[in-house]
Chain A
Amino acid sequence: MKLEIGNIFIKDIQFAAEAKVADGVLYVDKAALEKVVLEDETIKSVSFDIAKPGESVRITPVKDVIEPRVKVEGPGGIFPGIIAKVDTVGSGKTHVLKGMAVVTAGKIVGFQEGVIDMSGPGAKYTPFSETLNLVMVCEPVEGLKQHDYEKAVRLAGFRVAVALGELGRDVTPDETKVYETCGMKEGIEKYPNLPRVAYVQMLQSQGLLHDTYVYGVDAKKTLSTILWPTETMDGAIVSGNCVSACDKNPTYVHENNPVVEDLFAQHGKTLNFVCQIITNENVYLADKQRSSDWTAKMCRLLDLDGVIVSQEGFGNPDTDLIMNCKKIEAQGVKTVIITDEYAGRDGKSQSLADADPAADAVVTGGNANEVIVLPKMDKVIGTLDYVNKIAGASAETLQPDGSLVVELQVITGATNETGFIKLSAR
């Protein structure tokens, strides 16, 4: 399976009468995009804004971050089973508007977090302070239920991203990268001396605001299964996850999964990247047992030598992580797990809700309880309701000068558990 990724570097975003990509500038036709959003009758209105790196801007509460892509050659389209038809993706050629993102913001539920600061001390904790962000805030029609609102905003974000991606269809990419993996037998013949390695990705799948979709299927209703690692680059996995800003995976992270990328970087050199295994993080304990059993079973069936396991979220998924790790190790397959920590504000509490000696190789995205001061920003996109009234409800949180004392938890992507960031802890 071979996929060519053509990156079109976006250096600026501007609103304009005609939508196009020219000389690295994305011109956005607001009216046209508004139409795309309002196709959904449950959305009353939408506003668009642009946030650039270095600006004194705070975006909150962030729901999802999406990278615009377009399928130029090969079967299927971006976000199969959701926007495009359900054809298997991951081959041919895909163009990417690199350096920018669509950010959906707006309050789905009252305690929602998710802060992106484009400058200041908070900026270095979120990867999305480095992208040019087209932010869209959707207002629901009166009386819309939370889960319908979530779905409407989720899908509107994908439609907008696809519409923007389409603008890059005929643009010559600034950079082309080729990703290719092979079938079982071919791989063994081609790389007889390299260890067989896979990526086990755990998907958040606990319920409303905690869901992930694979080709349109709710991940909590899936059995552990196998993907070509290039499928996720075409949007095979998308986020419906709005809670736990610091360690949830926005759709952008699925499209640019860092474990997939970094395993590809070693593919054919120090290891043979066999495939991606996806599994879920359900609430029901028997589901956990089944899913981790199946994951371990596949690791054995694929004759793997090693896997990297990544997690998503807090608490409940710790149990899946440890189950996966233990069972895969028990099959004689070596594991490295990626997680983050909730060690308390003072860093002294037990970091994970579960532990096992089999987990002897751990990469951490840092302590999400660590406190940070976010200075006041000149402009807020979205609403400060949450941070001011909820997280900021205690006297010590909202400072007289307008700055906020918060835990890293509230910052989008701060302690990402796919290893998307450089933050760590010891």
Chain B
Amino acid sequence: MAKLRVVHYINQFFAQIGGEEKADYPAELRVGEVVGPGMALMQKFGDEAEIVATVVCGDSYFNENLDKATADILEMVASQKPDVFVAGPAFNAGRYGVACGTIAAAVQEKLGIPAVTGMYVENPGADMFKTKVYIVSTKNSAAGMRDAVAKLAPLALKLGKGEPIGASVEEGYIPNGVRVNFFEKERGSARAVKMLIKKLAGKPFETEFPMPVFDRVAPNPAVKDMAHAKIALVTSGGIVPKGNPDHIESSSASHYGEYDITGVMDLTADTFETAHGGYDPVYANADADRVLPVDVLRDMEKEGKIGSLHHLYYATVGNGTAVASAKKFAAEFAQKLKADGVDAVILTST
């Protein structure tokens, strides 16, 4: 059987171009070259696969030129017709992790080529992309390269061959929310007894089914005096000034926007729109007040039901946006809202 063709993506650091000072290194395709961690991968691949090309890209360059870098790299990858695409491993390097996740997901989605990457579980890229591509769980530094490659290479081979992928504990990837059956070595009762003994001894143990985590926030006490309260609007429904000046992504938003509505009495089809993907935007675009009720609040302001409507609103897109990102956005603009003396916020979704 012919060897599987692999394209490998790494950053400027692992390509030994340089550290942070070289992070603006633009994307580059090196056909026929095996670079840095690629050597270790090749060793593990044996005669089953070979790296036919390596893409090198600086972390700053990738993240600051997201669209162009992604498009360029996709073209480079496509030109090599690989059977499987491997990015990283990125360990705990945040921007490298996001780059690996972004490009691996794009290769898989846009080119239909299976992709895999690897990173430390706390790398922000892990949370953002673990449901989109297989991410092998690695240690938090490059000292864990051997261990990372030992999991990455066999998973890449399986993906390249189109073989079924086992459960996360078997393959070593970060759990991706898809439950996969497999046979354990011991029966369930024996595992339960062992788990209990560990739990009783205060030793670490690993549950086989993590309970879904709901971030329950206790509501604040009700606003006593609405007639004098300053109310702000915040939305995850993607309402932005026409043209989407901050380029908020239609899904998996990486940022939020702050917009001034001083003097705006009504959102119209000519002035505002939604950036949100994943639902039919016709009604939101025809009248954005349906998602961000500026018109109604202006009425209430006039009627004296509320003190005033804050002149700034904050908007992002909820569609597929990582909970961690959403938390980060809110933590940031909540401080601004507080500093501006806002008493209460009306939060709307799509």
Query: Does A305 belong to the interface (CB within 8 Å)?
Result: yes
Chain B residues, CB < 8 A from A336? 192-193, 195-196, 199
Determine whether the beta carbon of A355 is less than 8 Å from that of B211: yes
Q: Contacts A263-B193, A346-B178, A425-B179 given; indicate if A420 touches B188 (C-beta within 8 A).
A: yes
- The B-contacting residues of A in range 329-354, CB under 8 angstroms, are 334, 336, 338-339, 341, 343, 346-348, 350-352
Report the count of interface residues on B (CB-CB < 8 A): 35
Query: Does A46 belong to the interface (CB within 8 Å)?
Result: no
What are 16 A-B contacts with C-beta separation under 8 Å? Answer: A195-B200, A197-B196, A197-B200, A258-B190, A261-B189, A263-B193, A271-B196, A306-B199, A308-B196, A336-B195, A365-B188, A417-B188, A422-B184, A424-B183, A425-B179, A426-B175
Determine whether the beta carbon of A334 is less than 8 Å from that of B181: no
Partner of B167, one of A195, A262, A305, A425: A425
Q: Contacts A357-B211, A364-B209 given; indicate if A422 touches B187 (C-beta within 8 A).
A: yes
Partner of B189, one of A197, A341, A420: A420
Determine whether the beta carbon of B187 is less than 8 Å from that of A266: no
Partner of B209, one of A261, A305, A351: A351
Partner of B181, one of A265, A360, A367: A367
Determine whether the beta carbon of A421 is less than 8 Å from that of B188: yes
Chain A residues, CB < 8 A from B195? 336, 361, 363
- The A-contacting residues of B in range 208-252, CB under 8 angstroms, are 208-213
Q: Which residue of B lies closest to A362 (CB)?
A: B209
| B320: min CB distance to chain A, Å | 14
Determine whether the beta carbon of A362 is less than 8 Å from that of B208: yes
Contact string, A402-426, partner B, CB cutoff 8 A, digits 1/0? 0000001000000011111111111
Partner of B200, one of A263, A306, A416, A424: A306
Partner of B212, one of A261, A350, A364: A350
Chain A residues, CB < 8 A from B167? 424-426
Q: Contacts A308-B193, A336-B199, A357-B211 given; indicate if A422 touches B178 (C-beta within 8 A).
A: no
Determine whether the beta carbon of A341 is less than 8 Å from that of B179: yes
Query: Does A382 belong to the interface (CB within 8 Å)?
Result: no
Determine whether the beta carbon of A424 is less than 8 Å from that of B196: no
Q: Contacts A306-B200, A334-B199, A350-B212 given; indicate if A363 touches B191 (C-beta within 8 A).
A: yes
Query: Does B296 belong to the interface (CB within 8 Å)?
Result: no
Determine whether the beta carbon of B188 is less than 8 Å from that of A258: yes
Q: How far is the CA of A420 from the CA of B211 in the complex (A)?
A: 22
| B199: min CB distance to chain A, Å | 5
Q: Contacts A361-B195, A426-B168 given; indicate if A421 touches B209 (C-beta within 8 A).
A: no
Partner of A338, one of B178, B188, B200: B188
Query: Does B17 belong to the interface (CB within 8 Å)?
Result: no
**Apart from A339-B209, A347-B178, A425-B208, 13 more pairs, CB < 8 Å:** A197-B196, A262-B189, A348-B179, A352-B209, A355-B211, A357-B211, A361-B196, A362-B207, A419-B187, A421-B188, A424-B182, A424-B188, A426-B179
- The B-contacting residues of A in range 238-293, CB under 8 angstroms, are 258-259, 261-263, 265-266, 270-271
Query: Does B39 belong to the interface (CB within 8 Å)?
Result: no
Determine whether the beta carbon of A424 is less than 8 Å from that of B184: yes
Query: Does A356 belong to the interface (CB within 8 Å)?
Result: yes
Partner of A363, one of B168, B175, B208, B213: B208
Determine whether the beta carbon of A419 is less than 8 Å from that of B169: no
Determine whether the beta carbon of B211 is less than 8 Å from that of A360: yes
| A49: min CB distance to chain B, Å | 29
- The A-contacting residues of B in range 158-178, CB under 8 angstroms, are 167-170, 175, 177-178
Determine whether the beta carbon of A422 is less than 8 Å from that of B193: no
| A266: min CB distance to chain B, Å | 6
| A409: min CB distance to chain B, Å | 12
**Which 7 A-B pairs give the minimum distances between C-beta atoms?**
A419-B188, A419-B189, A258-B189, A347-B179, A343-B179, A426-B167, A362-B209
Chain B residues, CB < 8 A from A307? 196
Chain A residues, CB < 8 A from B67? none
Determine whether the beta carbon of B209 is less than 8 Å from that of A270: no
Chain B residues, CB < 8 A from A419? 187-192
Q: How far is the CA of A418 from the CA of B188 in the complex (A)?
A: 7
Partner of B192, one of A195, A338, A343: A338
Q: How far is the CA of A130 from the CA of B177 in the complex (A)?
A: 33
Q: Which residue of B lies closest to A366 (CB)?
A: B181
Chain A residues, CB < 8 A from B210? 362
Q: How far is the CA of A191 from the CA of B7 in the complex (A)?
A: 61
Query: Does B205 belong to the interface (CB within 8 Å)?
Result: yes
Q: How far is the CA of A357 from the CA of B212 in the complex (A)?
A: 8
Q: How far is the CA of A2 from the CA of B207 in the complex (A)?
A: 34
Query: Does B186 belong to the interface (CB within 8 Å)?
Result: yes
Q: How far is the CA of A338 from the CA of B183 in the complex (A)?
A: 16
Chain A residues, CB < 8 A from B213? 357
Determine whether the beta carbon of A426 is less than 8 Å from that of B182: yes
Q: How far is the CA of A352 from the CA of B177 in the complex (A)?
A: 14
Query: Does A163 belong to the interface (CB within 8 Å)?
Result: no
| B185: min CB distance to chain A, Å | 7
Partner of A351, one of B179, B180, B192: B179
Chain B residues, CB < 8 A from A365? 188
Query: Does B66 belong to the interface (CB within 8 Å)?
Result: no
Chain B residues, CB < 8 A from A366? 181
Q: How far is the CA of A298 from the CA of B250 in the complex (A)?
A: 54
Determine whether the beta carbon of B182 is less than 8 Å from that of A425: yes
- The B-contacting residues of A in range 362-415, CB under 8 angstroms, are 362-367, 370, 408
Query: Does B264 belong to the interface (CB within 8 Å)?
Result: no
Query: Does B323 belong to the interface (CB within 8 Å)?
Result: no
| A257: min CB distance to chain B, Å | 8
Query: Does A359 belong to the interface (CB within 8 Å)?
Result: yes
Which of A346, A421, A425 neighbours the largest number of chain B CB atoms within 10 Å of its CB? Answer: A425
Determine whether the beta carbon of A356 is less than 8 Å from that of B211: yes
Chain A residues, CB < 8 A from B208? 362-364, 424-426
| A263: min CB distance to chain B, Å | 6
Determine whether the beta carbon of B183 is less than 8 Å from that of A423: yes
Chain B residues, CB < 8 A from A355? 211-212
Query: Does B197 belong to the interface (CB within 8 Å)?
Result: yes
Determine whether the beta carbon of B211 is less than 8 Å from that of A359: yes
Q: How far is the CA of A365 from the CA of B184 in the complex (A)?
A: 10
| A52: min CB distance to chain B, Å | 23
Chain B residues, CB < 8 A from A343? 179
Q: How far is the CA of A361 from the CA of B199 in the complex (A)?
A: 8
| B245: min CB distance to chain A, Å | 36
| A407: min CB distance to chain B, Å | 11
| B310: min CB distance to chain A, Å | 35
Q: How far is the CA of A124 from the CA of B181 in the complex (A)?
A: 13
Q: Which residue of A lies closest to B186 (CB)?
A: A422
